[in-house]
Structure 1
């Protein structure tokens, strides 16, 4: 059971890398997406902390009872102006359906707004119906496949225009 007081969301650290890679690969394998053209074979998957240290990249980890349960990333997405891509949003099975995916998306949206971005983009696969429902619940709108995507197996694409508050 994940109780609110035992859960924290924090920035990625090097010691999280292997656990996150395992969560992501197990999640993809469980729905038969352990194939080329998915995050399963990303070169950076075993070293996410290094990858997300670079400019215009961020990654947050969900931790419960001092155990890594999943995470979510953001990276600048050049295809759309002033846009960040939501990346590698995965939770281990025991952390799903408890509102933590919703909370992780809320955090990246707030972070994007704080950094002055106007839009979020993400790509997913039609087999991931709970994820798609979550994205829609958070206000993401489905779009046509962009010309420039990294994961060729992905077949559903979404954007969300952010409510940027003017500075007083």
Structure 2
């Protein structure tokens, strides 16, 4: 999968991206005072093959000038009806404020709908104000039941398979 947005390339993650993608996530978390948890919450970012590929999910990286500047993925979850969770959607500061996050979220939703999933769940932290705003502007509704310790907000959106995203 290859998508272009301005001078960014969004593509499928490859094993050679492991360290660079993890670094983007770790740096973004630190920027907001959140800890990197490679043995727990962030294990999926290091074991993409197990958590995303083997479950029917996808994990993408965002490149700019051959450097990884963002990540995003989803995988099926037991919560809800034919549901997935969007995970690890992070962008470096220089890549924010350009509409890339909104584009990335829309592309994730299209990929999810194409796989016939019906619900999209997102867990996030209230300190990630830009992300929270994006989700709310994109039609995600507050829900309950955060399963990730560093997350205090949960959102859900039902996808209409007959409508275009």
Could you state the TM-score of these two structures normalised by the residue count of structure 2?
0.87
Q: Which residue of 1 aligns with 2:151?
A: 154
Question: Are residues 95 and 49 of structure 1, via their aligned partners in 2, closer, same or farther at CA, if it must alter by over 3 Å?
Answer: farther
2:164 matches 1:163? no
Number of equivalent positions:
160
2:84 matches 1:84? yes
Shift of 1:95: 0.6
Contact 1:33-1:40 at 8 Å conserved across structures: no
CA distance in 1, matches of 2:43, 2:50: 12
Q: Which residue of 1 aligns with 2:31?
A: 30
CA distance in 1, matches of 2:133, 2:103: 14
CA distance in 1, matches of 2:11, 2:84: 19
Shift of 1:6: 2.7
> Residue 26 of structure 2 aligns to a residue in which SS?
helix
Contact 2:45-2:88 at 8 Å conserved across structures: no
> Residue 87 of structure 2 aligns to a residue in which SS?
strand
Q: Which residue of 1 aligns with 2:16?
A: 15
Gaps of 5+ in 2: none
Q: Could you list the runs of 4 or more consecutive aligned residues of structure 1 that deviate by over 4 angstroms after TM superposition?
A: 38-41
Question: Are residues 97 and 165 of structure 1, via their aligned partners in 2, closer, same or farther at CA, if it must alter by over 3 Å?
Answer: same
CA distance in 2, matches of 1:5, 1:30: 25
> Residue 54 of structure 1 aligns to a residue in which SS?
helix
Shift of 1:42: 2.4
Question: Are residues 152 and 49 of structure 1, via their aligned partners in 2, closer, same or farther at CA, if it must alter by over 3 Å?
Answer: same
Could you list the per-position Cα deviations for residues 131-154 of structure 1 after superposition, in whole angstroms to 9, with x for gaps in the alignment? Answer: 0001111111111225xx2x1121
